């Protein structure tokens, strides 16, 4: 049933009372090195600082260019040097401030709120977006699943999961920033202009997932489980009570459900021999290396070689695969995409499109958890 506009507006304003205002810091282009960037005012009002000294105020469509020189950065406007220093800040002054940013060879991206630029290890510029948590969550959903579905219920699931993940991992990097913008944390490419996603974030504002101890869970997720999720200990060694393997029929026959890769037989056997001392000259073991099957997710290749190690070496979509042999090739026929632990995004999308509620979907993928508000956790901790 579609809610009336008045109901949506009321829900949006009520969400502000259940969600504690919180900013997070995200390192942008975290796996790349860039020595130059063009920053352009998009909306709101920005004051630009260099080493805490106010330099200028940016108006609509005005741009500044940032260039790294050794340990310093230069701020250039219309080919004129404005300032030189160790650090540049763009601080928004209004309720809604947006800037656009372009680095070499990359499409323009737009970001909410504030920007800090400094030099990292004399090699490149470091960009940190200081942004409201809920705006960040909306940006993550757009990058992670914006083109996969139009389901508001799924976007609500991803909002709760991404918010929980971000709050759990704040400061986990311990390198002067909080979160990265790539798959090592959550993919984030800036501001979300999708109204369905923004409303899903507003409707779940402040909601997080906790275990029995009222601590935030590690809300990991992946693209597709291949029909069976994995135990946390099978991927990362440590057992986690709410990240347990389970059948996941909802991921069947989705976009990333099935995959196939082939490699030369020589390459495969040499890898087993040289990297794992596998007895390829033994007749039985030779046959086993060329014909391997997983009726359900396993952890090891014939009880000795971690499947995740094979996946990493051959850059396979998942560890859930069978092996067959033909002519001079071995064929890896696999299911799923990603580590397989926690929530399957494609499975969750199917559940949402089939009428399951956001909370029911979360309870399906994470064992024995509950959903509460972040403010409630903070109050209990006092």
**pLDDT band for position 79 (50/70/90)?**
confident
Residue-level pLDDT at 77? 86
**pLDDT band for position 382 (50/70/90)?**
low
**What crossing angle do the helices spanning 5-18 and 195-203 adopt, rounded to 10°?**
50
Q: List pLDDT tens digits, range 42-77.
A: 999 999 999 989 998 888 888 999 998 888 999 988
**pLDDT band for position 100 (50/70/90)?**
very high
Q: Which of 293, 302, 298 is nearest to 325 (CA)?
A: 293
CA gap 168, 329 in Å, rounded: 44
> In this structure, what token pair is assigned to residue 198?
């923004």
**pLDDT higher than threshold 50 for residue 19:** no
What is the C-alpha end-to-end distance of the chain, expressed in Å? 40
Residue-level pLDDT at 1? 37
CA 274 vs. chain centroid, Å, equals: 34
CB 346 within 8 A of CB 255: yes
Q: What is the mean pLDDT of the chain?
A: 89
CA gap 55, 74 in Å, rounded: 12
> In this structure, what token pair is assigned to residue 69?
């020189």
Residues in the chain: 382
- pTM value is 0.85
CA gap 279, 224 in Å, rounded: 33
CA gap 227, 245 in Å, rounded: 10
Largest Cα–Cα distance of the chain, in whole Å? 75
Q: List pLDDT tens digits, range 300-331.
A: 998 889 999 999 999 999 999 999 999 899 99
| DSSP structure class, residue 244 | -
**pLDDT higher than threshold 50 for residue 136:** yes
CB 181 within 8 A of CB 103: no
**pLDDT band for position 228 (50/70/90)?**
very high
**What crossing angle do the helices spanning 307-314 and 265-276 adopt, rounded to 10°?**
130
CA gap 111, 266 in Å, rounded: 49
């Amino acid at each position: 049933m579609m809610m009336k506009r008045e109901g949506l507006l009321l829900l949006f304003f009520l969400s502000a009372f259940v969600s504690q205002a919180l900013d997070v810091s995200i390192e942008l282009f975290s796996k790349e090195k860039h020595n130059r960037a063009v920053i352009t005012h998009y909306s709101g009002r920005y004051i630009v600082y260099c080493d805490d000294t106010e330099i200028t105020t940016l108006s609509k469509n005005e741009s500044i260019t940032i260039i790294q020189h050794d340990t310093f950065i230069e701020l250039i406007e219309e080919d004129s040097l404005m300032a030189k220093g160790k650090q540049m800040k763009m601080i928004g002054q209004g309720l809604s401030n947006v800037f656009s940013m372009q680095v070499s060879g990359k499409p323009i991206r737009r970001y909410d709120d504030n920007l800090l630029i400094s030099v990292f290890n004399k090699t490149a510029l470091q960009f940190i977006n200081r942004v409201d948590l809920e705006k960040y969550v909306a940006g993550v959903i757009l990058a992670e699943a914006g083109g996969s579905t139009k389901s508001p219920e799924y976007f609500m699931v991803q909002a709760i999961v991404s918010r929980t993940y971000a709050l759990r991992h704040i400061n986990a990097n311990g390198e002067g920033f909080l979160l990265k913008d790539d798959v090592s944390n959550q993919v984030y490419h800036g501001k979300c202009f999708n109204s369905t996603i923004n409303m899903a974030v507003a409707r779940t504002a402040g909601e997080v997932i906790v275990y029995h101890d009222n601590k935030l869970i590690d809300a990991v997720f992946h693209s597709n489980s291949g029909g069976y999720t994995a135990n946390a200990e099978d991927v990362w060694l440590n057992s986690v009570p709410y990240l347990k393997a389970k059948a996941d029929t909802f991921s069947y026959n989705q976009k990333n459900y099935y995959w196939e890769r082939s490699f030369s037989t020589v390459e495969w056997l040499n890898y087993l021999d040289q990297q794992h001392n596998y007895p390829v000259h033994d007749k039985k073991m030779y046959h086993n290396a060329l014909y391997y099957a997983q009726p359900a997710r396993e952890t090891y290749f014939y009880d000795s070689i971690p499947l995740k190690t094979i996946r990493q070496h051959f850059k396979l979509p998942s560890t859930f695969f069978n092996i067959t042999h033909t002519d001079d090739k071995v064929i890896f026929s696999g299911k799923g995409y990603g580590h397989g632990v926690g929530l399957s995004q494609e499975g969750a999308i199917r559940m949402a499109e089939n009428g399951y509620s956001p909370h029911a979907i979360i309870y399906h993928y994470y064992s024995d958890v509950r959903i509460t508000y972040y403010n409630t956790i903070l109050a209990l901790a006092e």
